[in-house]
Amino acid sequence: MDRSRAEKELERLAKLIAYHDYCYYTIASPELSDAQYDALRRQNQDLEAQFPDLRRMDSPSHRIGSPISSQFDKVKHRKQMLSLDNVFNEKEFLDFQKKLRRFLKMPEDFSIPMIAEPKIDGLSASLHYQDGQFALGATRGDGQEGENITANLRTIKDLTLCLLGDTFPKSLEIRGEVYMTINDFEALNESRKQQNEPCFANPRNAAAGSLRQLDSTVTASRPIHFFAYYAQNLEGNLTQTHSELLEKLQTWGFAINPYYKLCNDFSQMLTYYQDMQETRKNLNYEIDGLVFKVNDLMLQERLGVVGRSPRHSIAFKFAAEQAETIIEDIILQVGRTGVITPVAVLRPVIVGGVTVSRATLHNEEEIRRKDIRINDAVVVQRAGDVIPQIVRVLENKRPDTSQIYNFTDNCPCCNSNLHKTPGQIAKRCLNGFSCEDQAIQRIIHFVSRDALNIDGLGERHIARFYGLGLIASPVDIFTLEERNKSFNEKIENWEGWGNQSTQNLWNAINRVRTMPLDRLIYALGIPQIGQNTAKLLAKHYTKFENFLKSIVAVNQNGTNVDKELTKIEGIGHGMARDIIDFFQQKHNLQMVEGLLQHITVLACKISDNLPFSGKTIVFTGSLEHISRGEAKFQAEKLGAKVASVVSAQTTFVVAGKDAGQKLKAAINLKVEVINEITWQKMVENANL
């Protein structure tokens, strides 16, 4: 056969085999006998052996995996992979519905139709199809950047390697969940037990462990599956509703979860939630709740994103699973920010398939309120990823040996005096990097995925480096490679390391020597300063010097600290206090100064090519067609800054009905004032 015929034939075979894979694995209605199917696979294999360079991205021969890979490459997601907010009961779910209506300025009695889908307890993956061929697949990672696991994903039998039909866009991204069935999980663990290999704790860990194999032939030997729940095309919406999108996914050859349902009103949603709680017991895969998604994609767009979650969807978790056990001891843990948390050491008990031996007791007050004592019989519960909790003490089972727990005044790690901030419940150790537990937690946080994301520096490594005095603060991470050169026992020669892992670590560290401002602020581990607040600070100060100068200067001359920070929308007094306190501690300032010797902090780019970039807008009065929240979201999406106070810096004021003081201020300051209709026109024009 000549080359060009072979090329056509390989394309035909890829499509044909993909179709028969779909029939067999996805919809369980095979059209070919095993022998006929094998013959097609053999034809494909033979042709590829003759023309190795013609092997296609969607070739069925990728299904068997390949043994060679040294590490996973990083992949930047084209659009952030978000996560979902959770609600745990009817009231919280109702509040979510109310918030949607308020944001969209819809009447109280209006119901927004939603699709309910099971929340599969697996791990999410993103798949790219180029001209219908599966070209690239990645893990979620930190949402911005994941790992390239294309070779592993190709081995999943119900994940189509080429899209069926011909009505798909040129470039398409699919997202969904990789999971393992409960039967397969049990069988896998059984065979691992027989081979003296450690068992997986639950199907989700088994799926994750199977997928993240450098040798994808191992993945190919594991029974993992894929449910698709989302598709996007950079050129705009593929359909008008989410339910149409799910149908499209099916026609392209994906397995979608059969239990999705359109619910038109709140009572239908609740009924379906209750039904699924029963159905769940008979499913052969784990689900931990339902995801409710606004069906209308236009409304989804309007609702947008807050933090890392879309406003249009919510995970409504199923009731937590509970079990009875005994509290054998109460110990204290020192957290990253020095907060002391009491932890119950439990007689190990299986809760929802996972062995639980610790539960958080939160704080001293919680122990008193629930009257929790050592040796008490208690009910523990876990819900999804949440740390196990003590629900209540079984007082009728309280033994004579039960002991009331007395909270100490000294740090359980470094013995320094604990400190209690007025108005806060928790006690804190203020010893910073001189307290081993705290230092280790802070370094772990510094390198964690959402902070600097330094791969290869796990918790155990950090504890070991700290113990040996090699990494005592984040600064030392950046000098380790240089210092290692003069170590007697070089790290590459340590047990469990070797040249490759050590080199990977240096690469990972060097990769973050230049880091975005918001990541650095978050990585510092200032109490209460999460990723969103770090972004707000980065946007406001744009450069690290500005941030530092402002906070340190404010500290030094004792000017009104709050004013400087609380000017920033989203930063309250509590957070401002924590930021100031953080930089008042010498060890923190020293760490920051030390870091600056080794790193370059990128200035925060305020997107200056958006239609409203550089403009500051104030909304006042009541808007008739959209809510204040949505107006703010529109403005920020188009690059504007939304302020709450009118000043000479305000570009214009959008005045709704009954505008008062702010309108007056605008007139006094000769700031332009527009009405809601003009605002909507401006938004429409900007979006064109």
Q: Annotated active-site positions, please?
A: 119
Task: Name the one range near ligand IVH by CB under 6 A: 118-126, 376-384, 507-515, 648-656.
Answer: 118-126
Q: How far is the CB of 445 from ligand IVH (least distance, A)?
A: 21
- Per-residue x/- mask for ligand IVH, residues 58 to 77, rule CB under 6 A? --------------------
Residue 364 as a binder of ligand IVH (CB under 6 A): the answer is no
CA distances from 607 to 416, 636, 653, 683 (A): 46, 11, 22, 17
Among 21, 177, 376, 564, binds ligand IVH (CB under 6 A): 177
Contacts of 629 (CB under 8 A, 6+ apart): 102, 103
* CA torsion angle 127 129 133 134 (round to 10): -10
- Per-residue x/- mask for ligand IVH, residues 288 to 307, rule CB under 6 A? ---x----------------
- 455-474 core/surface letters (b: 16 or more CB in 10 A; e: else): bbbeeebbbebbeeebbbbb
Quick one: which of 626, 629, 643 has its CA closest to 684?
626
Residues 195-254 that bind ligand IVH (CB under 6 A): 229-230
Residue 56 as a binder of ligand IVH (CB under 6 A): the answer is no
Among 119, 242, 382, 445, binds ligand IVH (CB under 6 A): 119
- Per-residue x/- mask for ligand IVH, residues 430 to 449, rule CB under 6 A? --------------------
The count of other CB atoms within 10 Å of the CB of residue 342 is 20
- Give the 3-state DSSP-derived string for 389-452, with helices as H, strands as E and coil as C: EEEEECHHHCCCCCEECCCCCECCCCCCEEEECCCCCCEEECCHHHCHHHHHHHHHHHHCCCCC
- Give the 3-state DSSP-derived string for 494-520, with helices as H, strands as E and coil as C: CCCCHHHHHHHHHHHHHHCCEEEHHHH
- Per-residue x/- mask for ligand IVH, residues 466 to 505, rule CB under 6 A? ----------------------------------------
Q: Of 230 and 494, which CB lies nearer to ligand IVH in the complex structure?
A: 230
The count of other CB atoms within 10 Å of the CB of residue 170 is 11
Quick one: which of 530, 517, 516, 519 has its CA closest to 578?
530
Residues 311-340 that bind ligand IVH (CB under 6 A): 313, 315
Residue 262 as a binder of ligand IVH (CB under 6 A): the answer is no
Q: Of 48 and 117, which CB lies nearer to ligand IVH in the complex structure?
A: 117
Q: Sign of torsion, CA 230 231 237 240?
A: negative
Yes or no: say if 623 and 631 are a contact pair by the CB < 8 Å rule.
Answer: yes
Which of helix, strand or coil describes residue 549?
helix
Task: Name the one range near ligand IVH by CB under 6 A: 34-42, 82-90, 506-514, 567-575.
Answer: 82-90
Task: Name the one range near ligand IVH by CB under 6 A: 68-76, 117-125, 237-245, 387-395.
Answer: 117-125
Residue 124 as a binder of ligand IVH (CB under 6 A): the answer is yes
Residue 82 as a binder of ligand IVH (CB under 6 A): the answer is yes
Task: Name the one range near ligand IVH by CB under 6 A: 112-120, 426-434, 546-554, 613-621.
Answer: 112-120
Strand 309-310 relative to strand 133-139, pairing: unpaired
Residue 83 as a binder of ligand IVH (CB under 6 A): the answer is yes
Q: Which residue is nearest to ligand IVH (CB)?
A: 124
Q: Of 44 and 126, which CB lies nearer to ligand IVH in the complex structure?
A: 126
Q: Of 453 and 650, which CB lies nearer to ligand IVH in the complex structure?
A: 453
Interface with ligand IVH (CB under 6 A), residue total: 15
DSSP 8-state code for residue 585: S
CA distances from 188 to 149, 155, 213 (A): 22, 17, 16
Yes or no: say if 604 and 517 are a contact pair by the CB < 8 Å rule.
Answer: yes
Residue 310 as a binder of ligand IVH (CB under 6 A): the answer is yes
Task: Name the one range near ligand IVH by CB under 6 A: 116-124, 457-465, 530-538, 674-682.
Answer: 116-124
In the block, residue with structure tokens 């920010």: 337
In the complex, the residues that contact ligand IVH under the rule CB under 6 A are 82-84, 117, 119-120, 124, 140, 177, 229-230, 291, 310, 313, 315
